Each structure stands twice: as structure tokens, then as C-alpha cells.
């Protein structure tokens, strides 16, 4: 690929390459499946700018993801490239693609419920008064599950157990 190639073609090829860059914490999903890649642009100097939004500002994998993205773009001959981090608007689990949600289930992680469009700022409420939606087991599909721990292997996941098949699984929390 040369810089003389049409900008849209170069961007399309970059999207295709990044669809194979796996998230280091959930290696069943690419950075595109997870919705971390927000945009791919080419600036006036011809540099490919990959716009990323980390799942949260303190995500320990952000630097590794940046490096993997740039290495993949370079290996495909699509450079020069740079990563631009955009933290606003904040990443939402709603950005996980349908394909990504399917891959999560197949990997054994229950995908997050969709966040509502009427999201409110943080409020303090009586947690006992909140009814949590059922989390379907990714192994057998049963809605008869229970939360074992609010935190799983990472802060963005909770640990659940299926009461039907008795298998433990993680649930990717909606953000």
C-alpha cells in the first residue's frame, strides 16, 4: 500500500487489519468488536490516525493495545500511523458489536445488557431496591443464574454461577 492510494481504501484496509487485533484482556474479541476503535482518519501529512477510546481511563491494557494497533498497521504496510486517544465521550459497553456479543457468549462470558438511553449521572440508591436483570448463562442459556461476586478477573466483569448447569461464568458489566 502506498500513500498515493485513495484515502478511503487505506482506511478500509486499516479497519480490516484491526479486526484481527485481539483485546489482551478478552482475547475472544478484536479491538473493533469491543468498540475501542472509534475512527480511522488520514491527516494532511498522510499519517493514518487510529482513534481509540479505552474501556475506562485507568485501563492497564491501553498502552499494549496502542502498540498492537501500530504494529498491525505497520505490518500491513499502511503506515505511517499514530494512535489518538479520545476519552470523551466515554466508552460504553453498548459499543460492543453484535458479532462481539456473540463471540463473548462463545468464549463463556455473558455479554452486557444494553445501557438505557436515559442514563443518569451517578446517584446513591438503596441497592436492595434495585432489581438486577437476569443474566443468561453463556453455556446453557438458562436465566436461572446468581451473582457470586461483583468483580471477576477484571473490574469490568462480575462472577456468576448458573443454577441449572452449575457452571461459573463471567458477565461483562454494562457501562
Q: Cell numbers at residue 134, please? A: 437476569
pLDDT score, position 133: 81
pLDDT tens string 32-84: 999 999 999 999 999 999 999 998 888 888 999 999 999 999 999 998 999 99
**Average pLDDT estimate for 119-127:** 51
Q: What is the mean pLDDT of residues 140-166?
A: 92
User: Which residues of 16-166 form beta strands (DSSP E)?
Assistant: 37-42, 48-52, 81-85, 109-110, 145-149, 157-162
pTM: 0.76
> pLDDT band at 122, cuts 50/70/90?
low
Q: So where are the chain's domains?
A: 7-85, 109-116+128-172
CATH topology of domain 7-85: GMP Synthetase; Chain A, domain 3 (3.30.300)
Amino acid at each position: 500500500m502506498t500513500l498515493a492510494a485513495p484515502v478511503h481504501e487505506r482506511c478500509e484496509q486499516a479497519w480490516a487489519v484491526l479486526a484481527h487485533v485481539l483485546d489482551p484482556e478478552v482475547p475472544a474479541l478484536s479491538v473493533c468488536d469491543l468498540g475501542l476503535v472509534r475512527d480511522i482518519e488520514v491527516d494532511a501529512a498522510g499519517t493514518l490516525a487510529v482513534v481509540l477510546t479505552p474501556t475506562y481511563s485507568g485501563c492497564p491494557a491501553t498502552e499494549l493495545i496502542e502498540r498492537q494497533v501500530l504494529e498491525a498497521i505497520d505490518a500491513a504496510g499502511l503506515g505511517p500511523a499514530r494512535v489518538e486517544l479520545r476519552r470523551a465521550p466515554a466508552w460504553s459497553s453498548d459499543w460492543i458489536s453484535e458479532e462481539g456479543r456473540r463471540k463473548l457468549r462463545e468464549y463463556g462470558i455473558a455479554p452486557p445488557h444494553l445501557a438505557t438511553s436515559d442514563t443518569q449521572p451517578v446517584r446513591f440508591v438503596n441497592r436492595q431496591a434495585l432489581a438486577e436483570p437476569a443474566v443468561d448463562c453463556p453455556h446453557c442459556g438458562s436465566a436461572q443464574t446468581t451473582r457470586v461476586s461483583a468483580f471477576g478477573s477484571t473490574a469490568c466483569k462480575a462472577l456468576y454461577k448458573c443454577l441449572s448447569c452449575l457452571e461459573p461464568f463471567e458477565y461483562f458489566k454494562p457501562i
